[in-house]
Amino acid sequence: MIKNEDRSLHAPYYEQRLDSGLSVLFLPRKSVLKSAVIYVPFGCYPHEESINGTKIPFGTGYFLSAMIASPGFLKEMQNKGIRLTAFQDYSYTTYTLETLGDIFQAIDMLLKRILRLKVEEEDIVSFREEGKENFEKDMKDPFFLVEKEAVQNLFSASPIRKGRLPDEKESLQIHSSTLKKYLSAIYQGERLTLLISGNYTAKEVQSHFAFLPLRGHTTIESVPSVFEEDYTKAKTTYTTFRANAPFDILSFGLKFPKREELYNLYGDELFSFYEFLESAAFTRNEPFLSLVRSTSSDLLRAKLEQAGEETYLLLTFRTEQETKLANVLTNYILKIDTHVSHSLFASLKDHAFAKALASLSLPSTALKAFTNAYANNVAYPALAKSVSRMHYSDMKQFLSKMSSFPRAASYLKAIR
Amino acid sequence: MHMPTELITGNYGQRVVIRRVYVEESSITPERFFLLPELLSLSLQATEKKPLERYAGANLAFKGYHYGSGYVLEARLTQTDIDGFHFFFDPYTKAKKILEESFSSGYTESPYLLETAKKRLLFAQEEQKKDAVKCIEGELSALGSTPSLNQTLIKAMTLEEARQAMKAIRESTTGAYCYIGKEQKKKEARIEKAFSSDFRSLPFRMNVSAQDVFDDFAKEARGYVLEIPAVTNLKDVSTVSVALTALGKSIQNDLKKNYNLAPEFRFRFLSPIKVLFLLEFAPHQLLMADSYLSDAMVSPLPFSFDSYLEDALGEEKIKEVSLASSLDKAVDRLLLVQNFGLGFTSSSFFQREIPTREEVQSELSSIKVTKKVSAFREENQR
């Protein structure tokens, strides 16, 4: 295994690509906990229109992950003291294993499950019923509604408008035959990455490589989803609607330029900006929070999402003066580069680095950090290091560019 | 002088120091008390003199909850704690100083902050009013719960009233510290001097006259106060946990099979000898389960638990995994240790002895049902 180490991070890690094509990443950690992740580089963002001639409906990957991590299989793992969690982001799907016992047994059980999975149509039907309940629950959640509306105001064509989960109608398009095709095309050894962390040596980890049950190579032909998104403007700048909610809510979004364009400008440093953009400009920026409070509003949450070529930042507020708030936000964004002080930048930079060190010390949080960064083809320690070396002037320059990003908001007037 | 409750471990890469201050119900109104954590949290952002700015990776959070015949205000300081990354020469003493100052200097006196704090508290109360389980916990004055507050009093709160509340906290002499993190070099620095009495002197109380509640709940719930053999160590905690999981699964199975109902269950400790066991139902389902529950929730519990023990033991193993992977879970467990004065060592904290089936069976046969409280949707009141 190839060792990577930056001494200031106290977190060496090893990499190896196996003959099966599987990439393995190992992080030795002195912890009672052992953790592993199977990383699948496909998430809920519909990159593929069809695979080998079969149309791939929105939500296929999500349904498949639910079939793999079925309640019966979760219970089987649980009774052996293994916690399995399936998670799907826009760009990837992860299966996380945690145990105080033998992590290699856990990996073996999960890989065998993936290799031998039998999906029956009745499993899909029953999961669809459960999904219906979740969908209905989402439709009653004012935060979900207002944020989805804001994203739909930002984007005109991108599939990101759909959100993460299929609705009832979309889920009717998903059948066991589609899942089988998707499984054999996507879950091949050469597409997957196995991340392991625990109190082991690289040699101990290597000794298990020969026995990993994996799906072999299959040639696939896929047709990518095609859409035309105009990154220079928002679809609609402002919408209002009424829904049941405890108070009025405003969600304000910024649409970033095409990812390729930003990457060409900033390279990997782009992801360092993303690491603390929310806190520097909004959540820990007292002048900003004070402006918000002056409109009888309160910032409830901020999130930066990336999917395919799309990136957006969403700020969600409780408000009593939505027009005043929207104006304050617009004016703030127009001069955003002047609102982040050098001292705040320095403090948050140190804070982000310290948080990274803490994340890297525990197997479960270390692997979570690695998988998040992995989606951008960046090794997490390199990202953490880059954050610690970032210059104020570069951040200011990025913020200055951000002031011209298209904006959109959605306002939910509460029915109490 | 009292020693803080400590878990010495480098497992989480972080250290946590918690300061808890107790005030009697008679010295503060609940509305004033529960506004304080909101005010203190907001002040942390707003104050110009930021106590943590110099300390990378540090986070300070406040919360308040019911405890005995009063309330506890808790400040939790978390910081990165790994070799070669030292911001504090003596982290424990420094953390203690920051925590003491955060209480003594109080909050920033700004009308905007006060209004925002009130709105946050009112929102939390609105959410609680919809949550049947939280309402039962509040009604019973359960350990760790928030009572139902008077919204008019919250809205009318003045800066002067908030000042008085902070004064009551400052004058309290009952409190304790908790610590999770690596061994500190200066052992004597850990010795607690700030409080003249700690949590061991406090009685465990609950509202024995709690009544059924009716409101616009999203779901409905039933709570049972169960008497259990006294827990004295972490293995006892596991035994109770497995036993109540088996009980919950038995009830779930019966209700699914006979009534097609699917309640969720959970439990929380009220004292070393009392547990609140909660069942949460979809709207209008609690009445359908009522006659079954009247027969089932009696002493001794009339169930055969055999077929549920394996799953319950499996869930307990997962709780052990959670404890090792989540600092927050470890903090919750350590606070339970402090509340009940339980014996433990750092090594047994993570690798606890899982109870045997026989021990769980024996626990289940000792459980006594002592009280029930329900939270119904209001239309059931008619």
Show the domains of chain A with their CATH numbers. 2-224 (3.30.830.10), 238-415 (3.30.830.10)
| A246 neighbourhood in chain B, CB within 8 Å | 123, 126-127
Query: B122: distance to nearest CA of chain A, Å?
Result: 10
- Helix runs in chain B, H state only: 30-46, 91-104, 111-130, 132-139, 151-156, 159-171, 234-259, 286-296, 306-325, 327-340, 346-350, 357-366
Compute the average pLDDT of residues B164-191. Answer: 80
> Is the model's pLDDT at B1 over the cut of 60?
no
Model pLDDT, residue A11: 84
pLDDT, tens digit, 9 for 90 and up, residues B351-362: 778 899 999 999
DSSP states of A13-27: EEEEE-TTS-EEEEE
Q: What percent of chain A has pLDDT over 70?
A: 100
Model pLDDT, residue A351: 85
What residue spans define the domains of chain B? 5-199, 213-381
Contact A32 B350 (CB under 8 A): yes
Compute the average pLDDT of residues B215-221. Answer: 90
* A36-40, A95-99, A203-207, B95-99: range with lowest mean pLDDT: B95-99
Question: A82, B315 in Cβ contact below 8 A?
Answer: no
Closest residue in B to A358 (Cα) is: B13
Distance of CA B40 to the CA centre of its chain: 19
The overall average pLDDT reported for chain A is 92
> Is the model's pLDDT at B54 over the cut of 80?
no
Say how far apart CA B176 and CA B5 lie, in whole Å.
8
In which band, very low, low, confident or very high, does the pLDDT at B182 lie, cut at 50, 70 and 90?
Answer: confident
In which band, very low, low, confident or very high, does the pLDDT at B187 lie, cut at 50, 70 and 90?
Answer: low
> Is the model's pLDDT at A27 over the cut of 80?
yes
The CATH H-level (homologous superfamily) assignment of domain B5-199 is: Metalloenzyme, LuxS/M16 peptidase-like (3.30.830.10)
Return the half-sphere exposure (C-beta side, CA atoms, 13 A cut-off) of residue A372. 20
pLDDT, tens digit, 9 for 90 and up, residues A111-134: 999 999 998 999 999 888 877 777
> Is the model's pLDDT at B50 over the cut of 70?
no
Say how far apart CA B287 and CA B299 lie, in whole Å.
21
Q: Which residue has the higher pLDDT, B44 or A383?
A: A383
pTM confidence score? 0.90
Say how far apart CA B153 and CA B54 lie, in whole Å.
38
Of B46, B82, B321, the CB nearest to A83: B321
Q: Which residue has the higher pLDDT, B327 or B94?
A: B327
Closest residue in A to B49 (Cα) is: A286
> Is the model's pLDDT at A380 over the cut of 60?
yes
Compute the average pLDDT of residues A250-260. Answer: 97
Question: Coil, strand, or helix at residue B63?
Answer: strand
Query: A347: distance to nearest CA of chain B, Å?
Result: 6
A126 touches chain B (CB under 8 A): no
Distance of CA A108 to the CA centre of its chain: 26
Say how far apart CA B241 and CA B313 lie, in whole Å.
9
Query: A363: distance to nearest CA of chain B, Å?
Result: 8
Closest residue in A to B113 (Cα) is: A293
Q: In chain A, which among 285-344 make CB contacts under 8 A with chain B? A: 286, 289-290, 293-294, 296, 298, 318, 343
Model pLDDT, residue A315: 98
Query: Which residues have CB under 8 Å from A386's CB, separation 6+?
Result: A268, A269, A271, A272
Compute the average pLDDT of residues B200-212. Answer: 86
Model pLDDT, residue B382: 57
Contacts 24+ apart (CB under 8 A), B51-56: B51/B98, B51/B101, B51/B102, B52/B98, B53/A343, B53/A347, B54/A347, B54/B87, B55/B79, B55/B87, B55/B88, B56/A347, B56/A350, B56/A351, B56/A353, B56/A354, B56/B80, B56/B87
pLDDT, tens digit, 9 for 90 and up, residues A299-334: 999 999 999 899 999 999 999 999 999 999 999 999
Q: What percent of chain B has pLDDT over 90?
A: 58
pLDDT, tens digit, 9 for 90 and up, residues A178-187: 999 899 889 9
Which class would CATH give B213-381?
Answer: alpha beta
Q: How many interface pairs between A and B have CB atoms less than 8 angstroms apart?
A: 120
Say how far apart CA B253 and CA A363 lie, in whole Å.
36
Common-topology check for domains B5-199 and B213-381: yes
Contact A354 B315 (CB under 8 A): no
| B45 neighbourhood in chain A, CB within 8 Å | 284, 286, 289
Which range of A78-87, B158-167, B186-195 scores highest in mean pLDDT? It is A78-87
Say how far apart CA B376 and CA A200 lie, in whole Å.
53
Model pLDDT, residue B197: 83
